[in-house]
């Protein structure tokens, strides 16, 4: 059994689209909890670059979003307290918590997706459908860390020349704007050079073949089948109202039906699939090491 990261890029893309798509079109707290536990646990298990500062940022964003809704939306019948003649209702608080949780969970999922899906994988997924779209995506992902490194280099050069000052806020803003101006100029020049280079190589003139190391194996087919089956069961439960959760004017949760149980179970399995694969692969690797 392979780890989730080494699966076929098409399967990985379908998985993330399924989990994120279902979560974004549902305001069910149970689905949110399942998705968050899966995304957060997988981030802790797999990623070694996520610092405590990043988690604190997500926590602060969640608290901010959870507080904004009850301050601006006063719908709901259950009044908790009143601030400046504005009622703070339980329904608005719960809605803000769920909305903030969905956004934070999606950010965790996109973080894992961006770390797993390299430029080669994106070209493999989108290359046959739209080579231009694949090129734009791969270049966009490449330019994010490249811009950061280039901005640092420009700032250090400005400091060496004595042009970068941090004596007060106004000087720092002027220095940062100068660095930003140089960075944009460099980006435009580099973009023109890249476009001319691609045109000289005949990119976009006709359909091109490309070499890839990715293969679609039986394990990929099984994972894709499991992903689509769990997603279909969850979507069916949503379509038939088995996962409905009403916030306004009062909190209403429909009765738990067999279809709802099946949908919750399916989404729970979908949320923990990467964790199961990653854990199994690591246990197998440790077992093989112990045999040496």
pLDDT tens across 83-100, in order? 777 788 888 888 889 999
Q: CB neighbours (10 Å) of residue 75?
A: 14
Residue 253 lies in a domain: yes
Are 107 and 227 in the same domain?
yes
Q: Which long-range contacts (CB under 8 A, 24 or more apart) does 208-217 make?
A: 208/131, 210/123, 210/127, 212/120, 212/124, 213/120, 214/8, 214/9, 214/121, 214/124, 215/8, 216/8, 216/10, 217/8
Are 93 and 224 in the same domain?
yes
Chain mean pLDDT for the chain? 82
Any idea what DSSP says for residue 89? E
Are 163 and 262 in the same domain?
no
| Residue 48 clears pLDDT 70, i.e. is over it | no
CB of 253 closer than 8 Å to CB of 241: no
- Looking at the structure of the chain, the number of domains it has is 2
Range(s) of the domain holding residue 280 = 4-123+218-290
Mean pLDDT within 20-26: 90
Residue 205 lies in a domain: no
| Residue 1 clears pLDDT 60, i.e. is over it | no
Residue 227 lies in a domain: yes
pLDDT on residue 146: 79
Residue with the bigger pLDDT between 79 and 166: it is: 79
Residue 209 lies in a domain: no
Are 41 and 183 in the same domain?
no
Are 111 and 223 in the same domain?
yes
Residue 128 lies in a domain: no
Mean pLDDT within 125-133: 69
Are 241 and 115 in the same domain?
yes
* C-alpha to C-alpha distance for 144 and 151, rounded to whole angstroms: 11
pLDDT on residue 212: 67
Are 192 and 235 in the same domain?
no
Confidence of residue 185 (pLDDT cuts 50, 70, 90): confident
Are 10 and 152 in the same domain?
no
* C-alpha to C-alpha distance for 158 and 180, rounded to whole angstroms: 12
* Residue that finishes a domain, picked among 173, 200, 227: 200
Q: Which residue has the tokens 């969970």?
A: 105
* C-alpha to C-alpha distance for 35 and 271, rounded to whole angstroms: 5
Residue 131 lies in a domain: no
Are 18 and 114 in the same domain?
yes
Residue 13 lies in a domain: yes
pLDDT on residue 102: 92
Residue 166 lies in a domain: yes
């Amino acid at each position: 059994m392979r780890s989730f990261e080494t699966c076929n890029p098409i399967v990985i893309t379908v998985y993330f689209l399924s989990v994120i798509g279902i979560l974004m079109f549902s305001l069910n707290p149970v689905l949110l909890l399942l998705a968050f536990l899966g995304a957060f646990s997988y981030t802790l298990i797999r990623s070694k670059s996520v610092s405590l500062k990043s988690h604190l940022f997500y926590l602060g964003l969640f608290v901010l979003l959870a507080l904004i809704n009850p301050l601006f939306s006063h719908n709901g019948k259950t009044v908790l307290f009143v601030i400046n003649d504005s009622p703070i209702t339980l329904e608005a608080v719960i809605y803000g918590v769920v909305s903030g949780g969905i956004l934070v969970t999606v950010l965790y999922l996109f973080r894992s997706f961006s770390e797993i899906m390299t430029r080669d994988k994106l070209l493999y997924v989108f290359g046959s459908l739209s080579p231009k779209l694949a090129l734009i995506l791969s270049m966009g992902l490449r330019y994010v860390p490249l811009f950061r490194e280039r901005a640092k280099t420009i700032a250090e050069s400005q400091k060496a020349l004595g042009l970068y000052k941090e004596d007060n806020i106004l000087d720092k803003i002027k220095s940062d704007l100068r660095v930003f101006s140089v960075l944009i100029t460099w980006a435009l020049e580099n973009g023109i050079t890249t476009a001319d280079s691609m045109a000289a190589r005949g990119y976009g003139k006709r359909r091109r073949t490309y070499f890839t190391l990715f293969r679609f194996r039986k394990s990929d087919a099984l994972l894709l089948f499991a992903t689509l089956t769990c997603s279909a069961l969850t979507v069916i439960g949503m379509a038939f109202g088995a996962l409905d959760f009403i916030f306004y004017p009062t909190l209403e949760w429909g009765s738990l039906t067999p279809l709802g149980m099946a949908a919750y179970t399916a989404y729970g399995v979908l949320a923990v699939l990467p964790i199961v694969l990653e854990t199994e692969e690591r246990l197998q690797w440790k077992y093989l090491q112990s045999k040496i």
